[in-house]
């Protein structure tokens, strides 16, 4: 919950809100790209992402990104949902995002591929999916760690914190909620947690400005839950997050492609 939590004091920049802490120091930045895949194109889309995986491996080797993965929306499922997949990319610095792919030589990534075949694959990318929106988060807090392909599921909770509660929300997370998360990690219930701050949004009209992400490596995430009653007894204030934030949406995602493994 420490690196996947998105917390930062927000400053107004040209009608957009930009986290002041993100300006003051360079921390990892995370982009979530929400992909709409046309009906019947799921297999084609995953093959496209397998193609792009080679490019992202080259970007990782060049130090342009720290991580990249593709996640399928498991719940809530809607046949007419605006997006079915989420592409997560971790950048070491914001400048890496601004100059994405500039240092990558595609001919070296695919030395045996013809120019025509590469052009067809890039065209296919546009045919099978559409990016409906992109969020940029400044990573603030995290707990636990990722180990190879140990993480299979991710639950993202989108939160709305009003400007007047920003400071008290950050204090609550640091003093109360993160210690609880550390207990779940130590107890083996949680693999990794992070909190992120949405860097650019529409101010009071934005539906959310923070994201809290929990990762599990196992599939029995709700079968064996942490002893929350005990945690609440130890620190009742830790379970009063509703005083500072409002839960806007919760999404369960399943990893289908990553740098350590293609889609099968």
Q: For residue range 138-194, what is the model confidence (pLDDT) as tens digits?
A: 988 888 876 555 678 999 999 999 989 999 999 999 999 999 999 999 998 888 899
Segment holding 68, helix H or strand E: strand 67-75
Q: Is this prediction's pTM over 0.75?
A: yes
What percent of the chain lies above the pLDDT cut of 70? 88
Q: Is the dihedral of CA 81, 85, 91, 96 positive or negative?
A: negative
Instruction: Return the SS3 of 81.
Output: coil
The β-bridge relationship of strands 210-216 and 153-160 is antiparallel
Per-residue pLDDT at 37: 95
What's the pLDDT tens digit per position in 117-126?
A: 999 998 999 9
- Structure tokens that stand for 162 in this block: 């009003």
Q: Which residues contact 219 (CB under 8 A, 6 or more apart)?
A: 152, 153
Chain-centre distance of CA 101, in angstroms? 20
Confidence check: pLDDT of 9 > 60: no
Cβ contact 29:91 at 8 Å: yes
Measured distance between the N- and C-terminal CA atoms of the chain, rounded to whole angstroms? 30
> Which domains are delineated in the chain?
10-258 (3.30.70.100)
- Give the confidence band of 18 by pLDDT, cuts at 50, 70, 90: very low
């Amino acid at each position: 919950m420490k690196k996947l939590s998105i917390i930062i004091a927000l400053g107004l920049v040209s009608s957009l809100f930009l986290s002041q802490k993100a300006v003051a120091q360079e921390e990892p930045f995370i982009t979530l790209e929400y992909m709409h895949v046309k009906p019947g194109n799921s297999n084609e889309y995953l093959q496209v992402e397998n193609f792009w995986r080679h490019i992202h491996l080259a970007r990782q080797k060049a130090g342009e990104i720290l991580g990249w993965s593709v996640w399928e929306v498991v719940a809530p499922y809607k046949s007419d949902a605006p997006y079915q997949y989420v592409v997560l990319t971790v950048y070491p610095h914001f400048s890496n995002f601004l100059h994405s792919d500039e240092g990558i030589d595609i001919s070296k990534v695919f030395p045996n591929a013809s120019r025509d075949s590469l052009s067809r694959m890039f065209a296919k990318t546009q045919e099978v999916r559409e990016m409906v929106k992109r969020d940029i988060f400044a990573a603030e807090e995290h707990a636990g760690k990722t180990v190879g392909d140990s993480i299979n599921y991710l639950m993202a909770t989108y939160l709305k914190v009003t400007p007047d509660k920003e400071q008290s929300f950050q204090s609550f997370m640091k003093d109360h909620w993160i210690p609880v998360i550390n207990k779940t990690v130590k107890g083996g219930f949680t693999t990794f947690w992070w909190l992120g701050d949405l860097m650019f949004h529409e101010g009071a009209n934005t539906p959310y400005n923070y994201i809290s992400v929990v990762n599990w490596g196992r599939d029995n995430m709700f079968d064996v839950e942490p002893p929350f009653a005990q945690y609440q007894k130890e620190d009742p204030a830790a379970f009063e997050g509703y005083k500072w934030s409002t839960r806007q949406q919760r999404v369960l995602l399943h990893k289908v492609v990553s740098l350590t493994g293609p889609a099968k």
